């Protein structure tokens, strides 16, 4: 974690040494940050100071003669118990002869080991500055790694655009560009008016006119962006500009002002640029995929509707079947993905009727045996409509094929087309069979009046174990009010009045 101020803790039992150190590093700044001095006159005091302030950047520990073991124990406490990984430790000892185990010094990551004679008034400030530089480098590396980790997990996770507001993305980029708090942020929509989507810090509350009039750099930026357009990324002094594909399929131009100059290294810029580019691409791809899926469903639904207008089923029947099937699979404990799939696959169960001649499909009276045989072929036509032409797995169409083929099979094997029985009938087929009959009974058709809920349930329960899977029927009966609610909420008024 990087802080605006740096601090050096001196551990020494000699008050004189504290006074000299204070004089030597008084008013010191390093990379624009003030360096504060903290004193501890004993091991206990040092422990106390670290317990209260774990952000110490450098510890200068002077171990008096014969006490080195206690001081090593203090360092062990800092590294192992408090896990102060970034803290730089300068240990000054009386003589190298005191060192018994060199390996231990390496394990404890003592960054600078010197004798008292080697840490003089002349070199003290230099030694501290070197340690501060190492501390900042270590802290920066830690921040880079955690920032990178967070970016990678963002890129590998499924993008949910709604969950990733521009602001969150900006915060993430800020965190790897240094100084996570206190930057000024501006996001502009690159339309003709360059509308400000949001502003923070120095831009907060300003109009577009005020913002642009106050910054030559922004006007330059807009000009440059207009010329280059895609995947824009620019770093200038303490500012970072980039484009993200976030707003209504358009790029948003984002600006963060006040980034640390220390982060102007090619590593950080490379990662940030990669992130903004990849993230934009990912969002574009997701939009495209969503659009394809929607178009896909739209075409299939329209096809179903074209079948429905030729058959006695009413308009919303197919949608209700989808909703019943989704609810049923939810009750049965199927995951959300399956619930969505069945919701969209179940309405396609009768698509094979597209191949049934009008004279049969729209016949008002009872069908002859031959006509019924023709009618029964709709399950095969439906299956052929969706069946795979290659090995490619297509979850929605594969499920639609299964449902089209099996929704007229019966539990006792007396259904069609294959007289499959029991659990050999795929669960999706058993679910849709039940939902289809329920909806047909509850609906008004040109040849019949709607059946009451109570009567519908009685008729269906009579067929448990013959037509329907008895276990599924039991579950359906237990939750029948919820299924009927779907029917009532999506009723065809013209048909059921
Ligand atoms: Fe059917
Ligand atoms: Fe149906």
* pLDDT one-digit tens code per residue, 46-63: 999 998 888 899 999 999
Q: How far is the CA of 190 from the centre of ligand 1 (A)?
A: 52
pLDDT of residue 390: 80
**Nearest ligand to residue 317 Cα:** 2
Q: Which residue has the higher pLDDT, 474 or 299?
A: 474
Q: In the prediction, which pLDDT does 229 show?
A: 65
Is 60 exceeded by the pLDDT of residue 497?
no
Q: Choose from 126-130, 301-305, 444-448 the range with maximum mean pLDDT.
A: 126-130
Strand partners of residue 234: 241
What are residue 122's phi and psi, to 5 degrees?
-70, -40
The C-alpha atoms of residue 485 and residue 438 are separated, in whole angstroms, by 12
Q: What is the distance in angstroms between the CA of the first residue and the CA of the last residue of the chain?
A: 69
Q: Find which of 154-168, 264-278, 299-313, 402-416 is predicted with most confidence, using mean pLDDT.
A: 402-416
Position 423 scores a pLDDT of 97
Per-residue pLDDT at 160 exceeds 60: no
Q: Are strands 6-11 and 88-93 parallel, antiparallel or unpaired?
A: unpaired
| Residues 6 or more apart whose Cβ sits within 8 Å of residue 400 | 300, 345, 348, 349, 351, 386
Dist. CA 238–CA 257, nearest whole Å: 6
**Residue 62 phi/psi, 5° resolution?**
-100, 110
Whether the pLDDT of residue 99 is over 60: the answer is yes
364 alpha carbon – ligand 2 mean position (Å): 17
From the CA of 437, the nearest ligand is 2
Three-class secondary structure of residue 8 per DSSP:
strand
| List of domains in the chain | 6-135 (3.40.50.2300), 158-286 (3.30.450), 309-496 (1.10.3210.10)
CA of 257 to the centre of ligand 2 (A): 60
pLDDT-wise least confident of 86-100, 282-296, 364-378:
282-296
Residue whose token pair is 């810090």: 201
pLDDT band at 231 (very low <50, low <70, confident <90, very high): low
Tell me the DSSP string of 107-145.
Answer: HTT--EEEEGGGS-TTTHHHHHHHHHHHHHHHHHHHHHH
Ligand nearest to the CA of 318: 2
Q: What's the confidence (pLDDT) of residue 264?
A: 61
The ligand that comes nearest to the alpha carbon of residue 346 is 2
Spacing, Cα 436 to ligand 2 middle (Å): 5
Which ligand does the CA of 382 lie closest to? Answer: 1
The reported pLDDT for the residue numbered 161 is: 47
Going from the Cα of 277 to the center of ligand 2, the distance in angstroms, rounded, reads: 47
* Higher per-residue confidence, 109 vs 494: 109
Instruction: Give the Cα separation of 285 and 159 in Å (integer).
Output: 10
Indicate whether 214 pLDDT > 90: no
The model's pLDDT over 384-418, given as tens digits with 9 standing for 90+, comes to 999 888 878 788 899 999 999 999 999 999 999 99
How remote is the CA of residue 290 from the centroid of ligand 1, in Å? 29
Ligand 1: centre distance to CA 485 (Å): 23
Least confident of 9-23, 168-182, 274-288: 168-182
In this prediction, residue 189 has a pLDDT band, given cuts at 50, 70 and 90, of confident
CB-based contact 74:46 (threshold 8 Å): yes
For 415-455, the pLDDT digits (tens) are: 999 999 999 999 999 999 999 999 999 998 877 889 999 99
Distance 397 CA to ligand 2 centre (A): 17
How many angstroms is it from 495 CA to the middle of ligand 1? Answer: 20
Q: Which residues, 6+ apart, have CB-to-CB distance to 327 below 8 Å?
A: 479, 482, 483, 486
CA of 349 to the centre of ligand 2 (A): 7
Ligand closest to CA 407: 1
Q: How far is the CA of 367 from the centre of ligand 2 (A)?
A: 17
How far is 145 from 90, CA to CA, in rounded Å?
25
């Amino acid at each position: 974690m990087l802080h605006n101020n740096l601090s050096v803790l001196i551990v020494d039992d000699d008050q004189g040494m504290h006074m000299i150190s204070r004089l030597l590093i008084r008013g010191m700044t390093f990379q624009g940050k003030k360096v504060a001095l903290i004193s501890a006159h004993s091991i206990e005091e040092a422990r106390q100071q670290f317990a209260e302030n774990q952000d110490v950047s450098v510890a200068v520990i002077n171990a008096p003669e014969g006490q080195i073991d206690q001081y090593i124990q203090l360092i062990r406490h800092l590294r192992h118990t408090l896990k102060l990984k970034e803290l730089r430790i300068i240990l000054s000892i009386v003589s190298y002869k005191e060192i018994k185990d060199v390996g231990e010094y390496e394990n404890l990551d003592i960054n600078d080991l010197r004798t008292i004679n080697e840490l003089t008034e002349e070199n003290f400030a230099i030694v501290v500055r070197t340690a501060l530089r190492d501390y900042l480098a270590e802290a920066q590396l830690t921040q880079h790694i955690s920032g990178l980790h967070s970016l990678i997990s963002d890129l590998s996770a499924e993008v949910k655009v709604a969950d990733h507001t521009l602001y969150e993305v900006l915060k993430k980029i800020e965190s790897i560009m240094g100084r996570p708090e206190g930057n000024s942020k501006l996001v502009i929509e690159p339309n003709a008016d360059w509308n400000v989507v949001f502003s923070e810090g120095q831009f907060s509350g300003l109009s577009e006119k005020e913002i642009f009039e106050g910054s030559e750099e922004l006007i330059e930026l807009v000009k440059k962006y207009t010329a280059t357009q895609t995947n824009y990324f620019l770093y200038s002094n303490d500012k970072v500009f980039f484009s993200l594909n976030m707003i209504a399929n358009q790029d948003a131009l984002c600006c963060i002002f006040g980034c640390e100059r220390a982060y102007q290294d090619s590593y950080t810029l490379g990662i940030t640029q990669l992130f903004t580019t990849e993230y934009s691409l990912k969002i574009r791809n997701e939009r495209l995929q969503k659009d394809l899926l929607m178009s896909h469903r739209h075409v299939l639904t329209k096809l179903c509707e074209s079948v429905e207008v030729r058959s006695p089923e009413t308009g919303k029947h197919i949608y209700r079947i989808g909703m019943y099937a989704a609810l049923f699979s939810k009750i049965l404990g199927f995951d959300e993905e399956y619930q969505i799939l069945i919701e969209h696959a179940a309405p396609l169960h009768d698509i094979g009727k597209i191949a049934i001649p009008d004279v049969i499909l729209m016949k008002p009276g009872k069908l002859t045996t031959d006509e019924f045989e023709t009618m029964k072929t709709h399950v095969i036509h439906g299956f052929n409509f969706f069946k795979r032409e290659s090995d490619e797995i297509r979850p929605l169409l594969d499920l639609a094929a299964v449902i089209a083929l099996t929704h007229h099979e019966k539990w006792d094997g007396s259904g069609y087309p294959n007289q499959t029985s029991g659990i050999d009938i795929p669960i999706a087929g058993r679910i849709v069979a039940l939902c289809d009959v329920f909806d047909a009974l509850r609906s008004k058709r040109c040849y019949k009046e709607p059946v009451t809920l109570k009567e519908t349930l009685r008729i269906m329960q009579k067929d448990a174990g013959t037509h329907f899977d008895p276990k599924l029927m039991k579950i359906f009966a237990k939750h029948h009010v919820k299924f009927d609610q779907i029917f009532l909420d999506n009723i065809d008024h013209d048909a059921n009045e």
